[in-house]
Amino acid sequence: MTATAHPEEIGVEVTNVTKSFGGDEARVTVLNGVTLSIRKGEFVSLIGPSGCGKSTLLKVVAGLSEANGGTVSINGKSVREAARDKAIGLVPQSPALLPWRTILDNVSLPISINPRGNTGRRLRDPRELLQSFGLGHALDRYPAQLSGGMQQRAAIARAFVFDPEILLMDEPFSALDEMNRDQQRMGLLDFWQSNRKSVLFVTHSVPEAIMLSDRIVLMASHPGRIAEIIDVDLPRPRNEALYATDAFRDLEFYVRSALRKVMEAARV
């Protein structure tokens, strides 16, 4: 299915990546021959049971964890070169904002870090960016004064501000309650649809994956591998109304059954 992408459009290319932990005796293979490509401006979700290595894959692409085998390239560069050029925007599971900095200073931080990597980037004005994330009133507030949802929005703005080539998001909404989560999810969708970037998005939520993604990568565990790649052929721009369509429900049913199959196979 990945063959449909034109080579010149490819942003991230993960080829035969293998990763294992532990010593010789208790060696656990977390990723086994994972191959995946993400086109420029494409939104790809990773979904799968816990222990399937989806967060590990994200860490490998982010350069936070070294693969034992295989290669990762980001716009033709190695992960290390990509980090040096500030091509990678990370949104961790928790907002991880610095409590001693205001929201504005937190979002401005990536611009001041590694300034050499700014060359050739269309840096965004942090104020404007925060405005469009609905945080214009909170510029001078401190993280502790904001709700969890607003903090996570600021963390996403922090990843967009330096115009990276790929955004890596590790279950960014998992700590929020369901209503808040949906609100943040739609906020991200709106912003992304008018600012297309390659995104690799780890999630536990099937509706979230469908609503946001162009493709859903379903992973299986023991060892962590790609079980199936599911195209999400739903029209864009999308909005809440999509939840109520038959196409959405059919796809949700399909993804859930595929997920169940993967989990049952693991149990045997």
Partner 1 sequence: MSDSIATAPRRNSSAFTMTRIIWNWGPPTLTFVIVAVLWQLVAINNPYVLPTLDAVGASLASDPGMYWANLLVTCQEIVVGAGAGIICGFLLAVAMSELPIVEKAVMPLIVVIMVTPVVAIAPALVVAFGFGMLPKYIVTGLVVFFPMLVNSLAGLRDVDQKALDVFKTLHASRWEIFRDLRLPGCMPFVFAGLRIAMPLAVVGAAVAEFVAAGQQAGLGSLVTIAAAQANLPVTWASIALLCLLGVLLVSLLALLRKRILWWSDEDVVGR
**Interface with partner 1 (CB under 8 A):** 62-64, 83-84, 86, 88-90, 92-94, 96-100, 109-110, 113-114, 117, 142, 144, 158, 162, 168
Encoding tokens for residue 102?
């205001």
By C-beta, is 53 or 172 nearer to partner 1? 172
Say which residue the tokens 């010149």 belong to. Answer: 8
* Of residues 88 and 255, the one with the C-beta less far from partner 1: 88
- Report how far residue 138's alpha carbon sits from residue 145's, in angstroms, rounded to the nearest whole number: 9
Place of tokens 């998992």: 174
CB of 92 to partner 1, least distance (A): 4
- Kindly state the smallest distance separating residue 50's Cβ from partner 1, in Å: 18
| Of 110 and 223, CB closest to partner 1 | 110
Closer by beta carbon to partner 1, 96 or else 234: 96
CB of 237 to partner 1, least distance (A): 29
φ, ψ at 139 (rounded to 5°): -50, -45
Q: How far is CA 90 from the centre of its chain?
A: 8
Report d(CA 244, CA 232) in Å as an integer: 16
Quote the least distance from Cβ 109 to partner 1, whole Å.
7
Where helices occur in the chain by DSSP H, the ranges are 54-62, 79-84, 103-112, 126-132, 148-160, 178-194, 206-212, 246-267
Closest CB 199 distance from partner 1, rounded Å: 14
In terms of CB distance, is 100 or 264 closer to partner 1?
100
Quote the tokens at residue 236: 């864009």
